[in-house]
Amino acid sequence: MTADMNPDQINDPRISDEALALMRRLVRLGPLYGNKVPKAALYLDDLIDTGQLPIFGDGEEGTLVPLAEAATRLGSQGGDLRESLHSLHAVGMLLLDTDNEYDIPVIRVVAQKPEKPGSPWRFQGDSDAVTAKTCIPDGIWEELPAEVAGAVMYLRMCRSQLQEPDPNEFGRREEVSGPAHARDLFAEALASGAVDEKGCEACPAGHLCTRTED
């Protein structure tokens, strides 16, 4: 697609309303994918419209997760949830699986990208997944309350970007009740040890990595 495409300027009776709606979606997604929008991005955008994301967990267990919770769980840095999820997809942290027994697109969290053409993708939850290469502490979503796990992710993101955690910013999240609650969650997250857990040497989620230079 071209960067200056404007469906609202098209006046052709042969083009259906559905086609125009698709063009508008492509225009919105274009900047996130270098104006080369993959079909999987359209599937993802449709899923985001539903307010829930079908995410594969351990093994073959899939779960419908509310959008805000899914964004936090997948490593979203906040802001516009739609844009954040597409950004994760664009860099290869998420993969849309459209060839499955459910015959619907489902989201798989990438543990390791193929090292060369023809090599397999590895996903979190697979028995052979290289989960050590995620730099996201294993098990926090099972071991900690969801809002504390979200605080772990936020604090790790702040550290990776050399930013001070902002309880006012974090306190505006749907699952957090203001700055005081945010500070309590920060304290619980730090006490869990997951914030200080070091990453690996080849992390596909580089914006969450807290490794030292050496």
- Whether 14 maps to a domain, the answer reads no
- Whether 91 maps to a domain, the answer reads yes
pLDDT at 214: 37
pLDDT at 90: 84
Last residue of a domain, one of 114, 129, 144: 129
Q: Which domain holds residue 157?
A: 135-207
- Whether 9 maps to a domain, the answer reads no
Give pTM, 2 decimals.
Answer: 0.54
- Whether 52 maps to a domain, the answer reads yes
Residues 82 and 163 in one domain: no
Query: Cα–Cα distance between 203 and 205 in angstroms, integer?
Result: 5
Q: What is the per-residue pLDDT across 65-101, written as a single tens digit (0 to 9) for each?
A: 888 888 777 766 556 788 888 888 887 778 887 766 6
Residues 144 and 119 in one domain: no
The closest of 27, 148, 44, 152 to 94, measured between CA atoms, is 44
Secondary structure E strands in the chain: 52-56, 62-66, 94-97, 106-112, 122-123
155 contacts: CB under 8 Å, gap ≥ 6: 165, 186, 189, 190, 195
The dihedral sign for the CA sequence 58, 106, 153, 209: positive
Query: Cα–Cα distance between 115 and 74 in angstroms, integer?
Result: 22
Residues 109 and 199 in one domain: no
Residues 195 and 161 in one domain: yes
Residues 103 and 151 in one domain: no
Query: Cα–Cα distance between 38 and 94 in angstroms, integer?
Result: 13
Helices (H) and strands (E) in the chain, counts: 8, 5
pLDDT at 161: 65
Q: Which residues of the chain have a pLDDT value below 50?
A: 58-59, 130-134, 201-214
pLDDT at 61: 57
DSSP state of 133: G
Split into its structural domains, the chain has a count of: 2
pLDDT at 57: 58
pLDDT at 207: 38
- Whether 20 maps to a domain, the answer reads no
- Whether 98 maps to a domain, the answer reads yes
The dihedral sign for the CA sequence 180, 181, 186, 187: positive
pLDDT at 184: 95
pLDDT at 198: 64
Last residue of a domain, one of 81, 97, 129: 129
